[in-house]
Amino acid sequence: MSPTTVAAERSADTTGLRGRFRLGRTSSLVLLASIVVSLLAASSAPTPLYATYQAEWHFSPMTTTVVFGVYAVAVLLSLLVFGRLSDHVGRRPVLFVALLVQAAALVVFAFAGGVPTLLAARVVQGLATGAALAALGAGMLDIDRVRGTTANAVAPGIGTGGGALLSALVVQFLPAPTHLIYLVLLGVLAVQAVGVVLMPETVTRARGARRSLIPEIKLPRAVRGPVAIAAPVLFAVWALAGFYASLGPALVRNLAGSSSAVYGGLGLFVLAAVAALTVLAVDKRPPHVALTVGIVALIIGVAGSLAAISAGSTVAFLIATGVAGIGFGSGFQGAIRIVVPLVAAHERAGVLALLYVVSYLGLGVPAVIAGYLVVHAGGLLDTAREYGVAVIVLAALAGVGLLRRHTPRMRPAA
């Protein structure tokens, strides 16, 4: 065990528990998970608003996916640059600054007056989210490796789905829809920033902070095999999430024949909510079993969605989306659990950053390509079908990789 690991465990065991004004272990774990939820809720909050922005500012579906894509690119860049920083300066400083930057992005969103401002807000939001995600994930593992692994898998689904639905309800039923949701999230971040100040630090400072800002793809030898298995699954499930976040609102409204904002957020909510519940359901299963269930459910769910699109059935589409959500949750949870229990404390943020890089590549790149196809090729329905087939192929390739690479050495990770 490295000195950094020992210091991290001592800090998590004693500093927070004995300080009168410090949060305890469980409270700190809940706080970190809640920050993941709020950050990803903020990232999905604009989803039901895209139709409103499009009507006010008269831009094309291609612009919608570009706005979505620049967020994913900003997250990627931030993960590559800041992903390992919290291993050196501590989790709390990185989180506190990231929350401040995220708050600034929400202010820009609340007063956006056109596409350039919207793009700027998404870039700032992506930078803040990317810097925070690796520190949050590593911090939860520092506090409790078992519960932290589960929280790392379940919190993104809750945040993504909850943010989309909450935003849709605000847009549909409350005044000032393009302002109110961001101001509500701003208040949540303010409370969480206070919590970050009160929580104990889980790692000790180490040299090399400036050097850590140089992007470097470096994997510990012990996790190279598991990461090779997890990466294609992560790409596939997040490509599906990108589909529902970028094209899903227009597709569901098209199927339902309604312009309601609730329909705009419903598809992403069903996908993410079912995914979060699935994470809890497969928590005790071996990770390779969770991965297998995820791949199979993803293929069945997406195939069912394509059939529902052809039949023009909103109900069938949402049911199939729920099945795909099982695939998302089980696949994502299995991919996380197959890797993170094998990573030492001082390497956690870097490895988690790499996993999130793969995830956000899957989230952003296919969505931007789909936006181009909607405008310049077959339109919304044909593009949705092509996107779905691509996700099925990705999931099938991930399944082949799992069968070829699965070895008994993976089983202790359960």
Residue 278 lies in a domain: yes
Residue 351 lies in a domain: yes
Residue 198 lies in a domain: yes
Buried b (16+ CB within 10 A) or exposed e, 92-123: bbbbebbbebbbebbebbbebeebeebbebbb
- Specify the residue for token string 């069903």: 270
- Per-residue pLDDT at 357 exceeds 60: yes
Tell me, what's the pLDDT at 216?
66
- Per-residue pLDDT at 8 exceeds 50: no
Residue 209 lies in a domain: no
Which CATH number covers residue 225? 1.20.1250.20
pTM: 0.74
Residues 138-197 pLDDT 10s? 889 888 888 887 887 788 878 878 888 888 888 788 888 788 889 999 999 999 999 999
Residue 297 lies in a domain: yes
For 62, how many CA atoms within 13 A lie in the half-sphere containing its CB? 8
Q: How far is CA 72 from CA 189, 232, 338, in A?
A: 21, 17, 24
Q: Which is higher by pLDDT, 3 or 197?
A: 197
Residue 214 lies in a domain: no
CB 80 within 8 A of CB 215: yes
Sign of CA dihedral 284, 39, 197, 354: positive
The Cα–Cα gap between 200 and 213 comes to: 24
Residue 84 lies in a domain: yes
Residues 42-74 pLDDT 10s? 988 887 787 788 878 887 767 877 887 788 888
Q: Which of 195-204, 211-220, 267-276 has the lowest mean pLDDT?
A: 211-220
Q: Which is higher by pLDDT, 395 or 14?
A: 395
Identify the domain containing residue 369 by its residue range: 3-204+220-413
Residue 51 lies in a domain: yes
Classify residue 345 as exposed, middle or buried by CB count within 10 Å of its CB (0-12, 13-18, 19+). Answer: buried
Categorize the per-residue pLDDT at 345 as very low, low, confident or very high, splitting at 50, 70 and 90. low
Residues 105-120 pLDDT 10s? 999 998 888 889 999 9
Counting the structural domains of the chain, the total is 1
